[in-house]
Amino acid sequence: MAHDHHHHHDHDHDHEHEVDEEAYAEAEAEAIRRHALAQIRQYPDVALRLQANEVADFDDDLRRLVERMERLMQDAQGIGLAATQVGVLRRVFVFVPDEDGPRAVVNPRFTDRSRESSTDEEGCLSLQGVRVPVERSLRVKLEGKDVDGTDVSYELEGMAARAAQHEVDHLDGVLIIDRTDADNRKRALGILRPQPVLR
Ligand SMILES: [Zn+2]
């Protein structure tokens, strides 16, 4: 899942080199973001439509996958990333449920969802340039395992609940364009359609 970053320039910079440093840092972050996005499967990659499999082995391979996904999510400035988005068909996602940083959830399942829902715009690291309204449960109880195979349980609401529902959808091959209304889907598919290359 992606979100917008708003850069506030509240302070006046008296020194030119400060402006240069800030511009340089932003350009560098943008280069890192693009490099990460290039490693994330983009629509209409088939991996995004496949069902991921339950994880049985909590081994070094899984640990490496989670580390790679956490790094990619942060570099891409996203707030969630599912294994299918890196072409791995295992039920694992990473997200940032609170200030304590990224967390991995393996074999996630919702044991409770509030009937109360909210509709808000969502983006996706695999659907660049698209933001569509999606209705989600306001609160969810999420259970699963961490990377070591220990049971974990999260009571989530708001943005974190939305992110978890978005990522679990990925593990079932479901995308935000499937969850929005017909008009927004049509508009999104227009954005995603490969543009003709003029030579
Ligand atoms: Zn996504």
Q: For residue 37, give the CATH number of its domain.
A: 3.90.45.10
pLDDT at 197 over 90: no
Query: Domain of 41?
Result: 18-192
Active site residues: 167
The average pLDDT across 60-83 equals 97
Q: Are residues 41 and 86 in contact, defined by beta-carbon separation less than 8 angstroms?
A: yes
pLDDT at 187 over 90: yes
Measure 125 CA to ligand 1 centroid, in angstroms: 5
CA distance 72 to 55: 21
For residue 10, tell me if it sits in a domain.
no
Phi and psi angles of residue 172, each rounded to the nearest 5 degrees, phi first:
-105, 10
For residue 3, tell me if it sits in a domain.
no
Cβ < 5 A residues, ion ligand 1: 124
For residue 7, tell me if it sits in a domain.
no
For residue 138, tell me if it sits in a domain.
yes
Q: How many CA atoms lie within 13 A of 67 on its CB side?
A: 7
Measure 147 CA to ligand 1 centroid, in angstroms: 21
pLDDT at 13 over 70: no
pLDDT at 196 over 90: no
The structural domain count of the chain equals: 1
The average pLDDT across 121-140 equals 98
Measure 75 CA to ligand 1 centroid, in angstroms: 15
